[in-house]
Structure 1
């Protein structure tokens, strides 16, 4: 863990540090990415997990519109650019280890490419897996023939 993050462990509420100093301490993986969990700001519902790099995190913080890094496309992915189902940032937090982001967002419609509100719609238990929700919108309506994964 970086000295910067270690110092924040004992910091008083409302302690402030320059953003660049904190981003330099973030533990991006070997591909330069960090997992970002999107949570609906008012309900607490966990919507999805995607990846961000420093560039997409900075764009998100600057514009308020959530931008991830698409590993499959190898480029920035502005949530909703093809489906219209955007995420608008309400707050962003870094975990204590500096290796995961939590984004409080205002999600327009479904967050999942399956047309469901949340990507977490398969519940697992000791004996089976169960689908827990229906699509809000047919993926064909959102994406036509180009459904992302």
Structure 2
């Protein structure tokens, strides 16, 4: 609700920046770590350990808002590809359940790289690759 002169009352309450906007490391610690450990939205089909190398790299690069969305998404790709290669190897050996699990884990990493929606070319590629992995994992 606005006071006379266009001053919104909520402005008085928003004087500090939320911790998860300070850095990717803070985003992980304050917002994403717990859902990843629980395997709930948006981390379903993934594991928290799948994201450990990504968190390490983002922290090393001191990534924070405003993100370059192509650079941001690119950090996820090596881990997603690693999980996908484990899935392909399992698939070639006839290990259907293992292949399914790793394709789905790869799809989860791709999902978070473009979450909540693709904003750049690399994120659109993550969207495509994530769907591809999910379809393989679900069959």
Please say whether Structure 1 and Structure 2 have the same fold, judged by a TM-score greater than 0.5.
no
More helix by share: 2
Instruction: Identify the structure with the greater strand proportion.
Output: 1
When normalised by structure 1's length, the TM-score is 0.30
TM-score in terms of structure 2 length: 0.31
Tell me which structure has the larger Cα radius of gyration: 2
